[in-house]
């Protein structure tokens, strides 16, 4: 007997951070009954921030009501936060979805769509201060759950978030089986996975590098929040 | 001043385990001077084991001598192990590469290409017993280095392996910066990331599920090793 279909969608856009998408895909596409929809405004292949081609197979209006919507982040978030078609899609799907999983700065897209008001959420450390501008209750944890919103911190945390979603929807045994399949017993080579643990110089260099994108993001959020609500 | 180009190639094939490829891509495409080549026999887009489309942009003969060759694994390995064109490419590139990074059962492709004789290596736990059939000195560690061969264990270990390669090639600070950028301070939800830690029932169910692919793999390796060497 086949399990009931579980409709899972992952949003794609130019300059997505591909691991925000592919990490959760790896986990969630393996859930019992999973049907995964790579979805975007058009089916034109997109490139991630470093040039990897990913190909959406569904447009925003072609996917059914999703059980799980994955919203990845990346540099491209700055454009998506002002893209009303994608925001409307996110809002509409979120209203009926069992889970919305934001990964990294995908949380900011959720925020621009109006999904964060009064809700606990997290995002990539370099944009974490922007959560409150979107009305969220910012939490410094790797995976944060509030109602049907599951938010994961930066990039790789999408794997942790997706495994948590797997367990939520299908039980701990499925989560454990996927973790074993993916041999997810990580051994990061350095104590450098967060601003709290990274060497100070390393943090400073990276902050300087990311700074302009984050500053632009702050400007965009001001515009988004000042927009009249429909 | 631009850094010296660092030519990095990642092999694609039908039914690749996409995270074996996309995890290292996420890390290595961000090395100073990195030029990343997604390479395959043809430029026809391929699908990973769960249907995600990935698009090679270079054929085997179009890439220059690589500094780093990433060899991912997945169900498709069973076909690639008998694909002489890919094996020849792997052998030829490995001879001049600074690093060959195998991820998951990508190690078996390296083995079929004759790269594992007498060398320490690891692979996904479910295929680990096959390493010795390929002449390797099988090691149960997450990331194993022997000469220019860096092998990572199952799927997610490609992230650890790629960070180790980043540090090897560009120094610890670059590795630390990338780990911080990717917010790689993992918190797996379960103690289930290896056969040693997973609940016994979970291990049994998964072994039964993977069993046929692994058994076929053992047959293929027997054929490959019996083949006359050129």
Two tokens at B158?
A: 């490609």
Dist. CA B72–CA B76, nearest whole Å:
10
| Separation in Å, CA of B192 to nearest CA in chain A | 5
8 A C-beta contact, residue A122 and residue A92: no
DSSP annotation string for A131-152: TGGGT-EE--SSEEEETTEEEE
**In sequence order, which residues have a C-beta less than 8 Å from that of residue A195 and are 6 or more positions away?**
A125, A203, B180
* pLDDT-derived band at A228, boundaries 50, 70, 90: confident
Whole-number pLDDT of residue B4: 87
Residue B121: which of B161, B168, B77 has the closest Cα?
B161
Dist. CA A41–CA A86, nearest whole Å:
7
In this predicted model, what pLDDT tens digit does every residue of B67-94 receive, in sequence order? Answer: 999 999 999 999 999 999 999 999 999 9
What b/e string do you get for B98-123 counting C-beta neighbours within 10 Å, with b at 16 or more?
A: ebbbbbbbbbbbbbbbbbbeebbbbb
Question: Which candidate in B12, B169, B184, B213 is best for mutational testing of the A interface (most A CBs within 10 A)?
Answer: B184
Whole-number pLDDT of residue A120: 98
Write down the ipTM of this complex: 0.97
Nearest CA in chain A to B153: A183
**In sequence order, which residues have a C-beta less than 8 Å from that of residue A108 and are 6 or more positions away?**
A73, A77, A81, A123, A127, A130, A131, A134, A217, A221
* pLDDT-derived band at A4, boundaries 50, 70, 90: confident
Residues of chain B with pLDDT under 70: 1-2, 229-230
Average confidence (pLDDT) over A13-26? 98
Whole-number pLDDT of residue A1: 55
Residue A123: which of A145, A106, A100 has the closest Cα?
A106
Flag if A188 and B163 touch (Cβ within 8 Å): yes
Whole-number pLDDT of residue B130: 98
Two tokens at A1?
A: 């007997």
Catalytic residue among A8, A100, A104, A143: A104
8 A C-beta contact, residue B82 and residue B224: yes
Active site residue A104: yes
8 A C-beta contact, residue A34 and residue A2: no
Whole-number pLDDT of residue A224: 95
Whether the predicted pLDDT of A45 surpasses 90 = yes
Percentage of chain B with pLDDT > 90?
97
Whether the predicted pLDDT of A229 surpasses 90 = no
For B:89-118, CB contacts with A below 8 A are: 104
Whole-number pLDDT of residue B228: 80
Tell me which chain A residues have a C-beta less than 8 angstroms from the C-beta of B199: 173, 176
B200 touches chain A (CB under 8 A): no
Whether the predicted pLDDT of A2 surpasses 90 = no
Tell me which chain B residues have a C-beta less than 8 angstroms from the C-beta of A185: 142, 188, 193-194, 197
């Amino acid at each position: 007997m086949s399990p009931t279909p579980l409709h899972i969608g992952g949003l794609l856009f130019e300059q997505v951070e591909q691991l925000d998408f592919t990490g959760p895909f790896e986990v969630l596409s393996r859930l019992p009954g999973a049907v995964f929809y790579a979805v975007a405004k058009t089916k034109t292949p997109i490139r991630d921030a470093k040039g990897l081609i990913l190909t959406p197979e569904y447009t925003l209006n072609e996917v059914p009501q999703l059980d799980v919507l994955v919203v990845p982040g990346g540099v491209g978030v700055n454009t998506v936060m002002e893209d009303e078609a994608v925001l409307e899609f996110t809002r509409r799907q979120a209203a009926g979805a069992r889970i919305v999983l934001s990964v990294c700065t995908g949380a900011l897209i959720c925020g621009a769509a109006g999904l964060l008001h009064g809700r606990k959420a997290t995002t990539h450390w370099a944009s974490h201060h922007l959560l409150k501008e979107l009305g969220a209750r910012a939490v410094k944890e790797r995976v944060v759950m509030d109602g049907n919103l599951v938010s994961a911190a930066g990039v790789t945390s999408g794997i942790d978030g997706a495994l948590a979603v797997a367990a939520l929807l299908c039980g701990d045994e499925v989560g454990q089986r996927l973790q074993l399949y993916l041999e997810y017993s990580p051994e990061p080579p350095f104590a450098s996975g967060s601003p709290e643990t990274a060497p100070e110089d390393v943090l400073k260099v990276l902050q300087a590098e990311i700074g302009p994108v984050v500053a632009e993001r702050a400007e965009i959020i001001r515009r988004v929040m000042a927009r009249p609500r429909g």
